[in-house]
Chains A and B, each alone.
Chain A
Amino acid sequence: MFKDITIGQYVDGNSVIHRMDARVKILLSILYIILLFVIDSIALYAVFGVFTAFLVIISRVPFKYIIKGLKPMLYILIFTAVINLFVTGGETVLWQSSLWKGLKITKEGLTIAVQMVLRLVFLVIGTSLLTLTTTPIMLTDGIEKLLKPLDAVKVPSHEIAMMMTIAIRFIPTLSEETEKIIKAQKARGADFESGNIIKRTKAMVPILVPLFISAFKRADDLAIAMDSRCYNSGKKRTRMKQMKMTWIDAAASGVMIAFSVFVIIIQRF
């Protein structure tokens, strides 16, 4: 049931991308996303595709993980494509329904539909490349460091990072728990697969109540365990793994910035 979720899934490796500093990786990923929304010609998307493929190849992440991340997106992609295809108005009509004149496909609509789909696909690939090559801990450490300057305006960067770490840590635990409760209720004759939407929603109660109770209990236990080990976010905490930037980060930033400048120049002229 939760096997398709790739969020927080990390594929171990020692590629150049794996060895990059999490902070640099996050910043460059943001740059990648911004770039994705700047460009709007099919030719540039092709260039972008080649660049993304290059990143996937040097990360040495098996291709099937990338595909797996895209699978849950399938319906959103189809939905986006269809909506953009039929709703976008334009001059050049490629096809028009003989039954209802309003239903037509224009050249502009087709272009926008293709662009939107490509944008979403690259968005997912780019961000999953970040999470697939960075351990959740490094990721939250990176976010914490990047948010640190905001401490001046009272943003609790450490607490935010801690909350994210705990949330990611508990995804597998809770999904295991859910599966166990579903099985136990099925053993008592519960039926989750048939009936209308109201009946199915009601059928969720025997799962959700025990799940919430155990989640709260776990949270309580964890809080006590943290307290009893004198956890205190206010004090200056040191880390077991210090983040260090290396020549890899410099080179990666150089490549990414050069690529961005190149893309923006082409986009402009």
Chain B
Amino acid sequence: MIKVTGLTYIYQQGMPFEKKAVDNVSFEIPTGDFLAIIGHTGSGKSTLIQHFNALLKPTQGKIEIDGIDVTDPKTNLMEIRKNVGLVFQYPEHQLFEETVYKDIAFGPKNMELSDSEIEKRVKSSALAVGLSEELLQKSPFELSGGQKRRAAIAGVLSMSPKVMILDEPTAGLDPKGRDEILGELSTLHKQNPDMTILFVSHSMEDVAKLAEHVLVMDHGRIAMHGTTSEVFAKSGELKKIGLDVPQITELTHRLIKDGIDIRPDIYTVKFASEIYKNLIKEAENV
């Protein structure tokens, strides 16, 4: 379980450009959760997630992951980064090795694992992100955009973290590359029920497809935190802070406004089509 208490982070404290990026935030994430973090640009999402693996030290407050305080300067950094994998925005920009294999092996190598263990991990994480074995011996710079992105994600996955955090994993990809990554994340979640996955996203459709819970940030504070259906049912509040709901939810809420009696917590097309079919059937029977 991840427990965040009173987390505050101030950029350039004491300088004229001081900015409170995260403002006294407290919440809990159960183990095995699939949580989406949403919020407009500059709401503090990226600052918040960099605290989970101690890349940033909070100005105030603390984060405990399975009882270990990751904000305590005495906690072993390597231990934290082994347990909490963080995939930055556009992670393909950090690829540097001669082959994809070596690049994925960078994390496990830093963990000083045995060669056979490293090989096992590289192969399994490449498989998990859908990179075929013959790609492993290629230079990462020969891959396509989507493949590079997946190789970079595999580079973090190979450390077998307990918590996996991804900052906008689908940003800048074409629809195909995006669906592939989303599909892989969903499979990853199903196959590893103990792995907690957090992802930052600007696409409400992606959030609707994947997340079990949603955390909404606004001006460094938490505006909402609940199940995906709970959060998307409040489309008015989301719009007030400059966010959106999935298109299907938008449609449903407009129908409700027009006096049609449907439940407001519809956020996937699959679920919506069932409800709508029943609605049409009922209307025909009358």
Among B50, B55, B78, max chain A CB count under 10 A is at B55
Least Cβ–Cβ distance between B280 and chain A, in angstroms: 50
**How would residues 173 to 216 of chain B score, 1 for a CB under 8 Å from any chain A CB and 0 otherwise?**
00000000000000000000000000000000000000000000
Bound CA–CA A191/B110 (angstroms): 8
In Å, the complex CA distance between A80 and B55 comes to 38
Among A28-36, A86-94, A102-110, A203-211, the stretch in contact with B = A203-211
Q: Which residues of B contact A187 (CB under 8 A)?
A: 53, 55, 81, 85-88, 156
Q: Which of these binds chain A: B90-98, B219-227, B240-248, B261-269?
A: B90-98
Pair A189/B91 contact, Cβ less than 8 Å: no
Q: Is the CB of A189 within 8 A of B81?
A: yes
Q: Is the CB of B50 within 8 A of A184?
A: no
Known contacts being A183-B88, A213-B141, is A188 close to B96, with CB within 8 Å?
Answer: no
User: Which chain A residues lie closer than 8 Å to B279 at the CB level?
Assistant: none
Tell me, yes or no, whether B101 is within 8 Å of chain A by CB.
no
Total A-B Cβ pairs within 8 A: 55
Distance between Cα atoms of A185 and B96 in the complex (Å) = 10
- Which residues does chain A contribute within 8 Å of B88, judged by CB atoms? 180, 183-184, 187
Asked whether A188 lies within 8 Å of B93 as measured between CB atoms, the reply is: no
Q: How far is the CA of A205 from the CA of B109 in the complex (A)?
A: 15
Q: Which of A184, A209, A213 contacts B91 (CB 8 A)?
A: A184
Contacts of B95 in A (CB 8 A): 210
Interface size on A, residues (CB 8 A): 17
Q: A183-B88, A184-B88, A213-B141 are in contact. Are A189 and B111 (CB under 8 A)?
A: yes
CB distance from B193 to the nearest CB of A (A): 24
Question: Please, how many angstroms separate the alpha-carbon atoms of A180 and B94 in the complex?
Answer: 9
Closest Cβ–Cβ distance, residue B126 to chain A (whole Å): 15
Q: Quick one: CB contact mask for B83-124 with A, threshold 8 Å, 1 for yes?
A: 001111001011110000000001100110000000000000
Q: Which residues of B contact A (CB under 8 A)?
A: 50, 53, 55, 78, 81-82, 85-88, 91, 93-96, 106-107, 110-111, 141, 155-156, 159
Known: A189-B82, A191-B78, A210-B93. 7 other contacts (CB 8 A): A181-B94, A183-B55, A184-B91, A188-B94, A189-B106, A191-B110, A210-B96
